[in-house]
Amino acid sequence: MVKIKIKDLKQIERDSRRKIILHAALDLFAIKDFRSVTVREIARHAGVSIGTIYNYYPNLMELFLDVFLNSTEEITHMLDNMSKKTPPTLEQLCEFYITYLNDNMTFYQMMSHFMLGGELSHDASQKLDEKMKELMNRMETTLLATGLQTDSRLTAHALFSALNGIMISYARYPGKSDDDIRRHTLRLAKIIAGIFTTSSQ
Amino acid sequence: MVKIKIKDLKQIERDSRRKIILHAALDLFAIKDFRSVTVREIARHAGVSIGTIYNYYPNLMELFLDVFLNSTEEITHMLDNMSKKTPPTLEQLCEFYITYLNDNMTFYQMMSHFMLGGELSHDASQKLDEKMKELMNRMETTLLATGLQTDSRLTAHALFSALNGIMISYARYPGKSDDDIRRHTLRLAKIIAGIFTTSSQ
Amino acid sequence: MVKIKIKDLKQIERDSRRKIILHAALDLFAIKDFRSVTVREIARHAGVSIGTIYNYYPNLMELFLDVFLNSTEEITHMLDNMSKKTPPTLEQLCEFYITYLNDNMTFYQMMSHFMLGGELSHDASQKLDEKMKELMNRMETTLLATGLQTDSRLTAHALFSALNGIMISYARYPGKSDDDIRRHTLRLAKIIAGIFTTSSQ
Amino acid sequence: MVKIKIKDLKQIERDSRRKIILHAALDLFAIKDFRSVTVREIARHAGVSIGTIYNYYPNLMELFLDVFLNSTEEITHMLDNMSKKTPPTLEQLCEFYITYLNDNMTFYQMMSHFMLGGELSHDASQKLDEKMKELMNRMETTLLATGLQTDSRLTAHALFSALNGIMISYARYPGKSDDDIRRHTLRLAKIIAGIFTTSSQ
DNA sequence: AATGAATGAGTCTTCATTCAT
DNA sequence: AATGAATGAAGACTCATTCAT
């Protein structure tokens, strides 16, 4: 009994330290491109040693992936919370997602990175796909609620694609402020929502 | 008279060597992630010295950008050629673009890179935007031909976003062959085309 | 208690390794111009990796500066040791300094480098000036002991200048052996000493 | 007859182009450390091609040396012109030389470079020594006029050394303006002049 | 004589990862 | 479990000089 408790405590401690590292990384991504963040920086920012980082992650990529997966989870949770009161309309879903992307550019950069070039271990790949599927489920649910009759899964993919694509087109617009970009990408999100809604009905 | 000819010849030679370098790079991108291609590799592959690379480009990024801009131009040209006979339908346009992306994954990776994190010089940024606009023009034209009445520019952006987004979602699908991915992304392209067509009419 | 000791030991080890690097550099300077010594050479000569060099110095220049500052300190210490028995006469001081310069040509080259073109960080600049002042103090003391009444600081500067200048004029004399140069510069040192002595009294 | 004239004209043209290159280099040295000036820069600034530079100088070092020797000659000429009216006092000589050094820091940097590390060809070395001797002659003459009886050559060397040394001590004084440095080095020059005068009499 | 593109050896520096303590 | 010094492969880029035209 006592043993189990200690074990649990240890696990809790381990988890919390892991979270500290995670958030240290996240903090840094807010101020610079994640590809240029170094282990040393993360260690210093987290107040731990470099070696400790490697006690929690086999390599940097896995840490980055963990940050990404956590964001994906966060999005899913937030969507679920939204749904508790009233299921969101397609437009609300799109707005929410684009707002999240604007607030977390790193999330989008990482998605690009992992979905395209990322050399992921089989295990990591598995986890990634799982989280993505959960996110896709929420999109499909909303699409179905909108009245979509056929190909709901494919259409969810198309919607997901469309929303992600918005950032690629507008995240970097020369001479525009962050606010301009936010406003513009939201407008595009509404258009996408409108098109998918019309065509669903 | 002779002088002018010599000058021209020099320019031609310069252009052709530039192209050799460009294609050497392109070749390498076919077998490995462009971010991991080195100057040395490109030089060796092009049959020139490292120094020569820097005689044509101030740095690696500019070379990469040139490769990207050339691809963008190529797409635009191909679209224009298609249009000469019969203006393409929206579905044809989408199919064409996704096919191109499947054949040139590097193009998509570069787009991600430059549109998101790429530290471009003002000059480079300018060129990039210009080429993107030209591509957007073609999309808008097709959308208008489909019967779209309002917000044609914004809708073109939305379409462009949606198509680009397809790759992010499916370029890397665990355990799927290139052919599977091609088939799948094309199916998504058709769905997107369908949705945009329906909503335009 | 034990902890403190371990800490101390670590510091000692760190200092000693730093010294190893320092002396490896110094060794190399004896056989070739310090501006042409590479990190690789120093690393190999010190028996450490290149990375280790950068663990101790942020860049090559700082290492070079450290070598220079150590020499300056060495001179100051040697002068202090000389003074313990009997304060040196002006002539002895001049002889000693010129002898040191002959034995350590790199010291003089570095002085030229850092005092003229060296792009030093503010911090480095500070350290440099501090050490130079300490050296100047010794010169001033000896001048005062010689009977100088006025402008002792300025005169110390003038003396320092004059001695340094000797090397610029004679370190490289075509067709002369090291011994010839040593003899010649020492003769000039004596003349300088004589002039400053006469004029002080 | 005609042939000779053409030959002469060619020589004149050659000389004038050489001078253009020389002054282009000199111009650049005014704005940046001579060690960081590249052949390309000089060529561009002179309005000639890189190849042309190498038609006039076997390598960069020789060009730098030429710049240096020209400066030395200039100093000698200026001293001779001063002497035409009234032979300068020792103080005037010192003031003049230090003023020149302040106005032409590159001259001093080059002197350091060539006298210390410069890998000069035998021929170049010869030329260098010759010019230096001529400069030394002027110093000796003035010293003799001041009343110096013995060791005039050695004392001239000592004087030369002392003056040169002034710059090494003060060319880089942290937080001082160019004007401050000029004033300070001139003050030191006067002290040197005073000391050498007193001791000569 | 003038040109300037081509050359490529050689430089400093970075940084993920390891492993002895 | 935590530490952080050591490692060293690898990269982009420079620039004096050459030489075919």
| pLDDT in single tens digits along all 201 residues of chain A | 556 677 788 788 888 899 999 999 999 999 888 999 999 999 999 999 999 999 999 999 999 999 999 999 999 999 999 999 899 999 999 999 999 999 998 998 898 888 876 678 888 888 988 999 999 999 999 999 998 888 899 999 999 989 998 988 776 666 778 899 999 999 999 999 999 998 767
For residue D54, the model assigns a pLDDT of 96
Q: Is D121's CB less than 7 Å from nucleic acid strand F?
A: no
- Tell me the mean pLDDT in the region D187-193: 94
Chain A neighbors of B117, CB-CB under 8 A: 33, 35, 109
Answer yes or no: is pLDDT of D168 > 50: yes
Q: Are residues D64 and D124 in the same domain?
A: yes
| Average pLDDT for chain B | 89
Q: Which of D56, D81, D101 is the last residue of a domain?
A: D56
Q: How far is D73 from chain C (nearest CA, A)?
A: 17
Q: Is A119's CB less than 7 Å from nucleic acid strand E?
A: no
For residue D172, the model assigns a pLDDT of 66
Q: Are residues C103 and C180 in the same domain?
A: yes
For residue A1, the model assigns a pLDDT of 54
Q: Is A51's CB less than 7 Å from nucleic acid strand E?
A: yes
Closest CA to C191 of D137, D162, D111: D162
3-state SS of A25-46 is HHHHHHHCCHHHCCHHHHHHHH
Residue C14 belongs to domain with CATH number: 1.10.10.60
Q: Which of C31, C56, C81 is the last residue of a domain?
A: C56
Closest CA to D191 of D172, D173, D174, D169: D169
Q: Are residues D157 and D123 in the same domain?
A: yes
pLDDT per position as a tens digit, C157-182: 999 989 998 987 776 666 778 899 99
B-interface mutation test, from A172, A181, A185, most B Cβ less than 10 A away: A172
Identify the weakest region by mean pLDDT among A99-113, B161-175, D64-78, D158-172. B161-175
pLDDT per position as a tens digit, C74-113: 999 999 999 998 999 999 999 999 999 999 989 988 988 8
Q: Are C170 and C181 in contact (CB under 8 A)?
A: yes
Pick from A129, A161, A191: which is nearest to B174 by CB?
Answer: A129
Q: Are A59 and A65 in contact (CB under 8 A)?
A: no
How far does the CA of D21 sit from the C1' of E1, in Å?
16
User: Touching D: which chains, 3+ CB pairs < 8 A?
Assistant: C
Q: Higher confidence at residue A112 or residue C21?
A: C21
Answer yes or no: is pLDDT of B132 > 80: yes
**Taking the CB of residue A176, how many other CB atoms lie within 10 A of it?**
13
Segments forming the whole domain that contains residue D105: 59-200
Answer yes or no: is pLDDT of B39 > 80: yes
How far does the CA of D123 sit from the C1' of F19, in Å?
26
Per-residue confidence at B68, pLDDT binned at 50, 70, 90? very high
pLDDT per position as a tens digit, B78-124: 999 999 989 999 999 999 999 999 999 899 889 888 887 767 888 88
For residue C1, the model assigns a pLDDT of 47
Residue D152 belongs to domain with CATH number: 1.10.357
Q: Higher confidence at residue D198 or residue C146?
A: C146
Query: For chain C, what is the domain count?
Result: 2
CA closest to C107 among chain D residues: D116
Answer yes or no: is pLDDT of D159 > 60: yes
Cα dist. C191→A181, C158, D196 in Å? 76, 14, 10
Q: Are D27 and D45 in contact (CB under 8 A)?
A: yes
Q: Are residues C155 and C98 in the same domain?
A: yes
Residue ranges of alpha helices (H) inside B105-171 are: 105-116, 122-146, 152-170
Say what percent of chain C tops pLDDT 90: 61
Physical contact, A and B (3 or more Cβ pairs within 8 A): yes
* D101-128 core/surface letters (b: 16 or more CB in 10 A; e: else): bbebbbbbbbbbbbbbbbebeeebbebb
Pick from A109, A157, A158: which is nearest to B116 by CB?
Answer: A109
pLDDT per position as a tens digit, D112-155: 888 876 678 888 888 988 999 999 999 999 999 998 888 899 89
Q: Are residues B77 and B51 in the same domain?
A: no
For residue C2, the model assigns a pLDDT of 47
Answer yes or no: is pLDDT of B3 > 60: no
Residues 21-50 of C with CB under 7 A from strand E: 36-40, 50
Q: Are residues B94 and B17 in the same domain?
A: no
Q: Are residues A83 and A152 in the same domain?
A: yes
Chain D neighbors of C104, CB-CB under 8 A: none
Q: Are residues C139 and C49 in the same domain?
A: no
Answer yes or no: is pLDDT of B172 > 70: no
Q: Are residues B50 and B145 in the same domain?
A: no
Pick from D162, D164, D191: which is nearest to C151 by CB?
Answer: D191
Q: Are residues C5 and C98 in the same domain?
A: no
Answer yes or no: is pLDDT of C5 > 70: no
CB spacing of D164 vs C169 below 8 angstroms: yes
Residue C140 is encoded by which pair of tokens?
Answer: 């001033």
Hey, what amino acid is at C107?
F
Say what percent of chain D tops pLDDT 70: 94
Q: Are residues B19 and B76 in the same domain?
A: no
What number of C-beta contacts closer than 8 Å exist between C and D? 131
Q: What angle do CA A76, A77, A83 make, to 5 degrees?
A: 90
Predicted model pTM: 0.88
Q: Which of B56, B71, B92 is the last residue of a domain?
A: B56
Closest CA to D82 of D103, D102, D70, D99: D99
Q: Can you spell out the DSSP letters for chain C?
A: -HHHHHHHHHHHHHHHHHHHHHHHHHHHHHHS-GGG--HHHHHHHHTS-HHHHHHH-SSHHHHHHHHHHHHHHHHHHHHHHHHHHSPPPHHHHHHHHHHHHHHTHHHHHHHHHHHHT----HHHHHHHHHHHHHHHHHHHHHHHHHT--S-HHHHHHHHHHHHHHHHHHHSS-TT--HHHHHHHHHHHHHHHHHHHHHHH-
CB spacing of B161 vs A162 below 8 angstroms: yes
Q: Higher confidence at residue B192 or residue D5?
A: B192
For residue B125, the model assigns a pLDDT of 86
Q: Are residues C178 and C108 in the same domain?
A: yes
Q: Are A67 and A25 in contact (CB under 8 A)?
A: yes
For residue D100, the model assigns a pLDDT of 96
Q: Higher confidence at residue B17 or residue A6?
A: B17
Closest CA to A69 of A81, A52, A57, A54: A57
How many residues are recorded in chain A?
201
CB spacing of B116 vs A126 below 8 angstroms: no
Chain D neighbors of C147, CB-CB under 8 A: none
